[in-house]
Structure 1
Amino acid sequence: MNVVNFVIKCILLGIFFQAVGCPIACAGSEALPQRPLIVRGDDNYPPYEFTDAGGNPAGFDIDILRAVAGVMGLDAEIRLGPWNEIRQQLERGEIDILTGVYHSEQRARLFTFSTPHIIVSHSVFVRKGSDIRNFADLRGKKIIVQKGDIMYDYLMGSRLSDNVYAVENQKEALRLLNSGQYDSALLSRLQGMYNAHRFGLKRVEAVGPPIQSRKYCFAVRKGRYDLITQLNEGLSILKTTGRYDQIYQKWFGVYERKTFLKKVMKYGLLISIPLMLVILMAVFWFRTLKHQVAVKTRALRKSEEKLLRIIDLVPHLICAWDREGRFILANRATASFFDMTAEALEGRSLTDIQSDFPGAASVFQGDMLLKARFGKEKICQDALENRRVLQVTRIPFQDGDDTALLMVGIDLTDLRRTQDEKESLERQLIRSKKMEALGILAGGVAHDLNNVLSGMVSYPDLLLMDLSADHPLRNPIITIRKSGQQAAEIVQDLLTLARRGVFKHEVFNLNTIVTDYLKSPEYESLRADFPGVTVRVLPDSELLNIKGSPVHLKKTVMNLVLNAAEAQPDGGEIIISTENRYADGADGDREGDFVVLTVADEGIGIDKADLDRIFEPFYTKKVMGRSGSGLGMAVVWGTIQDHNGFIEVDSVGGRGTVFTLFFPVIRDALLPEQGDIPLKKYIGKGESVLIIDDVAEQREIASGILRKLNYSVRAVSGSEAAFNYLKENRADLLILDMILNNDMDGLTIYRESLKINPTQKAVIASGYAENRRVKEAQKLGAGAYIRKPYTIENIGTAVRCELDRKRGF
């Protein structure tokens, strides 16, 4: 009684601390509706829930729910239907309760679960007389499983047998086994025993210990803690009053082994006869004394049982240990945590049951037993190895002549998980906004740089056309052109960062990108700079195709390999691998088929504090200017976004880094490769071309190239001059700069020019990549898009193709 009375006082104290320390625990709760609760269950999952011959809901889950509603005074409307349909109804918030759902971490993100009303296990089913007695005996045997059941995945992972046969349902599995066609079946234990009894399959029995135990619970909409609290309280009442055991026996008692009960009855009869004689003698001699003791004992026991029932109704962990760490009290929540009964816990040592339980190792050492601890959060695992966060209060008390310790643990797991998810989303939002702002800035800078670089990229082509092969200025001019192209590549990095850089999508194979990179001058330069680094490639020979920009994907591979080499200054190995992979979306990523590129190194790794910032432009721990522009990882991130993929980074400081890139699969076939286009293919035929560009240098460059290609060229700086020219003259083709400062843009000019000449042809040019305005111009009839800076080939082929294109194609 000292323990129980003390526990009641401490419960009141614990409720006070919970109210002070956890004011947000009920913040998300909703008031229970005044209407009847809408309850749904599976119409074909006997014996747990199903529609009986009369068309009414029946089963273990249904009886438990009705009993809970009865003791808690809840008005519930129960209907059954197809599983997928009723689950979606709960996700949409159209119903209040699902009667039976297996608990999992993934489902816990969608629903709030009650305490389990039963633990469902799988078992090995065999024909009677079989030499198979447990799971280990199944090696090499012919095994039946149900399609989509967890045991199919379990068998595939264990590689226990190559002879696994999947059937549609348990009924078919049991009938096949009963007929002697296979050696065994792996099925849900109680459900299998129910179906064997139901269909009269008397040759089948379950053997061995249970396999893969899973919690089977009520589920409500996420955040309905008020409703889940009432369901948990109702379950506790049913178990305390014995009503739960009655329902369990109704549905499953006939299938449990009866050996133990028979032995109890046998020895009970042998003992009961002499025991009754002793009792009768005791009653005869001590009737008066016994009556007085019995009256006081009954009163005391009634009071103690009442207090214990109250403790059992509390949903938090409440337990007490003696000085040696043995349980002297445990409520149902504590027993559920350890996956044991309260009776089984009593007298057991805490350290023997679970060594990582809060305080198990130190609380009974020295004077720790004499110290109270209030509201300390501890992280541990329950008996089913689920991570749990407990707010633990420990209070010492006197139990007779010795000191004992009371513990109250409030489960904050769901609350902390919600807080972590919220903080993660906030970090992602901040990062996305930061990258968006940097992208807008980078895009503007890139547009201006493209105009500036036109002279370095375009004029060398014109000069080289006029120089002989042995001219002394030829090599210097080629060097100028190469420098301009390298600068243009940096501009492309900025456009990729701005999410405006992927302008050409085509079907290709990622293995080809890796192979091309290994043959590139960039790779040869890397080998020269890092002689101690080796690269090993593990390609998937059956790799599926993807769609996107090969140029940007090659740049991505180059950046990742360069970073991996720089992370291994003393040498090491870089592994580049490709594979096809199905992502199930369990980690919050997209679900589907993906081509996966992995780049792994053995280098210095990335500290955890830096992982969230590695994709920011110019963020680096290296000396700026020694290894690129500082945009490498930002370009990788932008390329992944443009290809509708995602990236995972696994790194530990000092132990290497693994980058895993996911790209959506496309089933289209590869197109044949195209080589360089001969000059004669895009030489002009004297056609007239009107160039409209507000930058004088751009007009001069484009005019010079087109005149070299035998076109008649006129260039103007704005819309007014263009319209005046078109009203008096005919132009076979317009070259429209998409962005004109303080003037109409290219789309508007083209729209107005069509009013002058409805068959007017045009191409679009810009320092940006294609955007919505370019697409609109092309819908009106404009041709190809030309990205600045101009080269002879890109402007020549675009002009020639548009002039040769027939209207309407």
Structure 2
Amino acid sequence: MLTRFLLLLLALSLTVSEVNAEPVAGRDLSVIVVGGNSNYPPYQFLDKNGRPAGYIVDLTRAIARVMGLKVEIKLDDFGQILKGLDSGDIDILEGLSYSEARAREYEFSTPHSIIVQAIFARKGTPAVKSLEQLRGKKVLVHRGGGMHGYLQEKHYDADLVLTDSPRETLQELAAGRCDYAVVALLPAMYIIREEKLANLVPVATNVAPQRYYCYAAKKGNAELVAQMNEGLSILKKTGEFNQIYDKWIGVLEPQRTSWLVVAKYAALVVIPLSLVLMGTVLWSYSLRRQVAQRTESLSNALAELQRNQQQLVQADKMAALGILVSGVAHEINNPTGIILMNMPTLKKIFRDAERILDRYQEEEGEFTLGGIRYQRVRQEVPLILDEIQDGAQRIKKTVEDLKNFARKDDEAHKEMLDFNNVVRTAVRLVDVATRKFTNAFSATYGDGLPLVFGNEQRLEQVVVNLVMNAGQALPDPSKAIALRTWHDVATGRVMLSVHDEGTGISPEHLKHLTDPFFTTKRENGGTGLGLSISANIIKDHGGEIAFDSGVGEGTTVTLALPAAVAGRKNGQ
């Protein structure tokens, strides 16, 4: 009996080691320690056996599998986990809400979840529709959570009653400690169902800006975050991401689906009864009415789906460019603005000083300023000031181009475009990188191109990708890149070609260039998504993209877009 008891204790200790193992000196650095909140269902929590479970836990394990990583998942109180990340005992967090303040301290992955905040109350409590209506009322909120910080920023401190977890928040609300609580919608619905808190209901949703939930590591650990990003991309491509989402998140939305099913079967019952009881005319009227209602419901559902998809696409794009632009553009524009504002004053000062210095030279003879003869200073300083001003203007223009490129682009928004202007903007964006790749870059823009109908940012993205790929293919800067636009009158299309004198592409690889995740540059950080995305963008615009290459012969990429109106010229 004693032997069986000791064996049981040993088995239990091995079972919980994944959760409770504390980092020790000399731990295996090949194992990535992933930290998470032990009480934030359905995203991450400890199950009844004390093991990590939940949506992000399954996601982490799937990423580790497809990326060949060894991970140890450690769930604990959120405050302790955050301390572990800061001390280095934990390598990366499974879930941390993105904010600009946190982005200065942590590296964030592409979002894997969108957190929606809601106000909960007991049944029968007077309803509120916004956070503003909670002022002056005692409100339960989870200490240290995303909404705690948000409400503090909005100066709700005096109204807040803090708890140690979302679960405790809802339990206290159900027991009548306060009348209202602000909790993330999905975790709250999960806890209400699990704890059978039948007297609680959401009285308002989307009461605060949606928060993106991401993997997060300390600054300087961007490589690990990049691995998580690549794993997420693979799971989305294979469909496993949706399977994990449906397992944990989809089950919390049964009412919406069940009501659609009920409506469907109710219609199947009502329509035959209408045929029997009300006749052909009344049945036709009822059928038209139901079709209109269903059409409206489907339209609303499609619009909601498109909005959600655009949010995730935009979040991916911002992970790559938006954070850079929002942070760096501000830092660049401030000193650039100071230069542009002060430069006219400096020019006036120097012009006034010239008269004094000229008289001094007449009286005292030749002299030097800063070790340079005055006559040379008099000739070159105005030119130097002009160069500084022109350089600052160029910096400002480049930053504006980056901000426009990273701006949220609505795929439904297309307009008549001057394709030459689109290409010029893209060339400016990659100007610095291009000069590193080659000493012989040329761009020839055809005259009188017809307008094209499209999305400016998406087309800029394609041109940037083609020029960057051409540069990366060059063996040394002596090799050239040539870009050209023209109008193919015979086919009524606007054309772009990008030719490089690079190493070329082998025939077996040429047919796979636009396949997702296919790349010949994976050792240099390539993901194999650039040309696939570009091909889809051009296809969406009704165009075509073609490749002509041979090993050692360079590569030519040709892009064709239909003219918006045959024969219509720019500026007409």
TM range, smaller chain: 0.3 to 0.5
Q: What TM-score, normalized by structure 2, do the two folds share?
A: 0.43
Higher-Rg member (1/2): 1
Asked which structure has the greater RCO (Cα within 8 Å, sep 6+), the reply is: 2
Pick the structure with more helix per residue. 2
Q: What TM-score, normalized by structure 1, do the two folds share?
A: 0.31
